[in-house]
Amino acid sequence: MLKNFDDVQKLSKDNLDVAMNSFGAMSKGLQAIAVEVADYSKKSFEEGSATVEKLLGARSFEKAIEIQSDYAKTSYEGFVAGATRIGELYADLAKEAYKPFEVVVAKTTGK
């Protein structure tokens, strides 16, 4: 009876360790995502403000169109790069959060 209790207690401790490791990985991953989103937002705001200043200083309609076109292109490229990076961070988050559970699954299935 005491042996079974020790086994259950060890299993509970192991499961708690797995959950805590997974939580730690998720916390770190979400923090990286938040930093990336904040950096992108700051950069986007700064670029938008710089474009408004350029537009206010434009001497002709053609120059204003050129400034706006350059901004649209740069903004789109920045968005795609940022979205790609955030997508990669989410994929890494999922992998890292699942890793501790792979060990448990391997132990229980015998693989």
pLDDT tens per residue, range 45-83:
999 999 999 999 999 999 999 999 999 999 999 999 999
- Give the three-state DSSP class for 60: coil
Q: How many domains does the chain have?
A: 1
Query: Taking 90 as the threshold, does the pLDDT of residue 5 lie above it?
Result: no
Can you spell out the DSSP letters for 44-91? Answer: HHHHHHHHHHHHHT-SSHHHHHHHHHHHHHHHHHHHHHHHHHHHHHHH
- Within a domain: 33: yes
Q: Residue 33 sits in which domain range?
A: 26-102
Hunting for tokens 């708690």 — which residue is that?
A: 16
Total-model pTM: 0.74
- Within a domain: 12: no
Neighbours of 97 (CB within 10 A): 19
- Give the three-state DSSP class for 110: coil
Looking at residue 110, its pLDDT comes to 64
- Within a domain: 68: yes
